[in-house]
Chain A
Amino acid sequence: NAGVTQTPKFQVLKTGQSMTLQCAQDMNHNSMYWYRQDPGMGLRLIYYSASEGTTDKGEVPNGYNVSRLNKREFSLRLESAAPSQTSVYFCASESREYQETQYFGPGTRLLVL
């Protein structure tokens, strides 16, 4: 049982490049989330998916797209990376069976030059 996994762990991009951050969970959770965390700040929600086939915007969705590929996987895409998107990205899944607690992945550290 790996929990929530994220790939890659680190990435360096040039401005304008695109990339997709992958997230997968093996806990059969319905809901999944993407957050970003900037130095000295709390987590900010980018997008979330309450169930397979649905996605909704969070607090800071601009510049990102998401895909809930199936129940296990929720990917985050940067179409044209900007230096302001330099951050640590965390994926989480949520258990409705246990009072909606969230389980987080180890994070992806992204640097956009």
Chain B
Amino acid sequence: DAKTTQPPSMDCAEGRAANLPCNHSTISGNEYVYWYRQIHSQGPQYIIHGLKNNETNEMASLIITEDRKSSTLILPHATLRDTAVYYCIVRVNNAGNNRKLIWGLGTSLAVNP
């Protein structure tokens, strides 16, 4: 699975959009981009994932560049409860027994009042 690069920390004002970038320049054609977040000391929580099209759900939007070498997670109206560490991961789906996710250090997002 390809590795990802994320900024170590970001700040965002409450109510504004939070845009979290992720670089995955070595991504393969069959690798998906997943985003998870971890709110202080809790287990990570799935947010969204995509292959090449932009995706949106009730939590966030995922924008993947046309060359798929980078992506951006967008929290449209950040709240204080969105303060967390956000992880960007790439992996192959339906990989049989090869299910080893590689978790980096993520981006620590602080949403400020």
Q: Contact residues of A with B, CB < 8 Å?
A: 4, 31, 33, 35, 40-45, 48, 50, 54, 56, 58-59, 88, 90, 92, 94, 96, 99-107
Contact = CB atoms under 8 A, between A and B. Distances in A.
Interface residues of B, number: 23
Contacts of A35: 103
B96 A42 contact: no
Interface stretch (B9-17, B20-28, B44-52, B66-74): B44-52
Interface string B18-50: 000000000000001010100001111110010
Contact of A106 (B42, B93, B99): B42
B59 interface: no
Contact of A101 (B41, B49, B94): B49
A88 B45 CA distance: 16
